[in-house]
Amino acid sequence: MSDTRRRVKVYTLNEDRQWDDRGTGHVSSTYVERLKGISLLVRAESDGSLLLESKINPNTAYQKQQDTLIVWSEAENYDLALSFQEKAGCDEIWEKICQVQGKDPSLEITQDPIDESEEERFEEMPETSHLVELPACELARLEEIADLVTSVLSSPIRREKLALALISEGYIKKLLQLFRTCEDLENREGLHHLYEIVRGVLFLNKATLFEVMFSDDCIMDVVGCLEYDPALVQPKRHREFLTKTAKFKEVIPIRDSELRQKIHQTYRVQYIQDIILPTPSVFEENFLSTLTSFIFFNKVEIVSMLQEDEKFLTEVFAQLTDEATEDAKRRELVNFFKEFCAFSQTLQPQNRDAFFKTLANLGILPALEIIMGMDDLQVRAAATDIFSYLVEFSPSMVREFVMQEPQQADDDDVLLINLVIKQMICDSDPELGGAVQLMGLLRTLIDPENMLAPTNKTEKTEFLSFFYKYCMHVLTAPLLANTAEERKDSLLRSRLSLYFPNISIYSFSPAPSDNFQTAQLLSLILELLTFCVEHHTYHIKNYIMNKDLLRRVLVLMNSKHTFLALCALRFMRRIIGLKDEYYNRYIIKGNLFEPVINALLDNGTRYNLLNSAIIELFEFIKVEDIKSLIAHIVDNFYKALESIEYVQTFKGLKGRYEQEKARQSRSLTSFSLLARSLEDDEEMWFNDEEDEDDADAGVEKRVEEDFPESYGKFMGAKKVKDSEDKENLPKRTPSGSFKFTFSHSAGTTNGSSSTSSKPASSASPAAPNGSSAKVASLPAAPMVKAGLVGLVDYPDDEDEEDEEEDDEEEELSPRKRPRLGS
């Protein structure tokens, strides 16, 4: 399998009639039991996986093109191609295909799909078994030749036979010689016939004919024939354009003559397909499929040849990054790289990866940084296209480069991402086409979904920290400038002018929505910020809070451009959709529903997208039962909203609010009943304690009679202690709760002196009975015997708890502002 003769690339034709590379491997032909026949197998050279398994069917039409291509269709709209590295390998597999189908290997197509009636018709005409007999190539017979070429286009078999006849007799060059004669004689009728002939020959769709027609000595005459369309009063001047207007510029001299010829040929053939030939009808779509393949494989060959020329690429980059290079020269180099990157899309994946890695190693990103800072709009546009190819290829490679920039540059303005943002904001296109493209690239770069490479697990954290530190303020500058309060306008505008010297074309003002182009720009910025809310939980949350960004965004709800108001609303909807109480408290504290409700009320009875979007926002809050927001909306805005009855959303919010209040009321009632039950249990417990004390006193009296006097002294000390303990038992207060009186005699019991306990006693507030003790309310909880529980009371706890309760009350109570203008 290591034989290079069998090395192939597998291609499939996609819906856009473009060839997709499926990989490189080695082809073989062998019998496959499952398919019951000889089949073509291609195994990947990288891992041996099966790239292709295709049975050689007797009725499938295989076509050999350009000596190294075999093309066929396996099903409707599913075309396959094998591109061989060597001609010998192609010939070997072609012979095997012809052997299975019983065909002559000298033919370049095994058969064409035809219907039975046509087959029978040709069987009845034995003369058609030979090549088509061509008329003599003379001026007088041009009309006859044109009729012949036109007549065979409907028959696959006759197209094949005519193509063989044209090649075998060298007919193409004879026809082109007649073209020169007709043009010298100004024979307009003959030129019209030649147009029909050449156009018909192209529709034969044969690669062998293309190789002759697109050779250096024939292609310009082919173009000349196609200038004389009978439908035109005056012929087109395509040759004049190709030879005089379209100049081939070698930014760096190309030493390989074969490469130079291939570039010329590809450009001219592409021109024929895109400009000269009319758009094919539905019945002619497949007539030019081989022409498309011809161009595709030419491009693959050009990129491969350039990539292999290391000296060429090195010299190009040297001039591109050299400060002494003139602007005109640099412009040509950038346009060359743009075309080069476009051609690279035809490469197979592994070769394309190697191509872009080569560009990265040569310094394409630092070069783009220089180019995107230039004033030339064409150069910046070309640089943007190159940047898009790089981002599409490897966002991680671009991120890695930009994160190293702050270490090399003191000015944030020259960072590559900031240059991209500035170009997006300063797009001079009224439709902001370039800005839309750049916004898509920024989204790709900040998308965490493509930051999950296992080789670098810290990429997400590091890059997002970099972006929010160095770039986010540049992105949001137009938004903040357009929504600034009057007293801050001058400061923000001065900052904005530092980032965007040419920003005056947008005339940022306190009424930004009056400018359609500015409104479009702000909608793009909001779309990117909404994406950040969905994907950057931590970083964007801090940024929104620190900049009070949502309040600024909601200023745009007043815009006369509904699409901008909807963008602002969508931003808030994404935030609420996270159901994050941190965001909810921020919204409540800032009373940020007010501009939304004002917009709903200002919209009146109009049933439009803005109305539906606002209703959906409140419906989401109701369905998800976001209690804090529901309470805030009902407490502050229900009076203004209760008249809206064409939807049940606001009544539903009110219902949710009342259900929650009822639930809380029931909980409070249950709590009170529980507390009362506990009080009864406590009273019963104290009664039991008194009974136990009486019983103990009787026992002690009997013991005193039986024991010596020394025991009487011991019991006297015990009574003193018991009386002190009873002093510390909880006593009922007028409110029905209990108070604990904590004695400080414990210090003495533990062996500490009475002097050491005095500071603690003096620090405590006086108890109602005048003793030096701290009083605390007993929580409603099951009681345990006081003698078994050690309680520690810190003097500062009460003050701290009071402060916390005050803070909670201040945070939970909605801050009401003047709301809903009349």
Q: What is the pLDDT of residue 691?
A: 56
pLDDT of residue 237: 92
618: nearest Cα among 582, 545, 685, 569: 569
- Model pLDDT, residue 550: 95
Single-letter amino acid code for the residue at 715: M
How far is Cα 268 from Cα 288, in angstroms, rounded to an integer? 16
Residue pair 317/358 in contact (Cβ under 8 Å)? The answer is no
Contact criterion met (CB below 8 Å) for 98 and 56: no
| SS3 at position 484 | coil
Model pTM score: 0.61
Question: Contact at 8 Å (CB) between 222 and 201?
Answer: no
Residue 514 has a pLDDT of 66
Q: How many CA atoms lie within 13 A of 194 on its CB side?
A: 31
- 807: phi then psi, degrees, rounded to nearest 5: -65, -40
DSSP single-letter state for residue 777: B
SS (H, E, C) 358-394: HHHHHCHHHHHHHHCCCCCHHHHHHHHHHHHHHHHHC
Confidence (pLDDT) at 196: 93
761, 771 in Cβ contact below 8 A? no
Q: Angle at CA 343, nearest 5°, toward 340 and 349?
A: 110
Distance CA 479, CA 497 (A): 14
Report residues of the chain scoring pLDDT below 70: 1-3, 75-77, 111-131, 280-287, 407-412, 452-457, 485-514, 671-672, 675-676, 679-683, 685-822
CA angle, corner 402, sides to 400 and 404, nearest 5? 75
What pLDDT is recorded for position 329? 86
Residue with tokens 């060597």: 86
pLDDT score at 707: 43
- Structural domains in the chain, CATH included, are 4-101 (2.30.29.30), 141-304 (no CATH), 579-666 (no CATH)
Judged by DSSP in three states, 721 sits in helix
**For tokens 């061989």, what's the residue?**
84
List Cα–Cα distances, 93 to 7, 49, 54, 73, 140, in angstroms. Answer: 11, 20, 13, 17, 45
What is the four-CA torsion angle of 573, 576, 577, 579, rounded to 10 degrees?
A: 180
Asked if residues 248 and 264 have their Cβ atoms less than 8 Å apart, the reply is yes
pLDDT for residue 197? 95
Q: How many CA atoms lie within 13 A of 349 on its CB side?
A: 10
Burial class (CB in 10 A: 0-12, 13-18, 19+), 638: middle
Q: Which residue has the tokens 């007539």?
A: 287
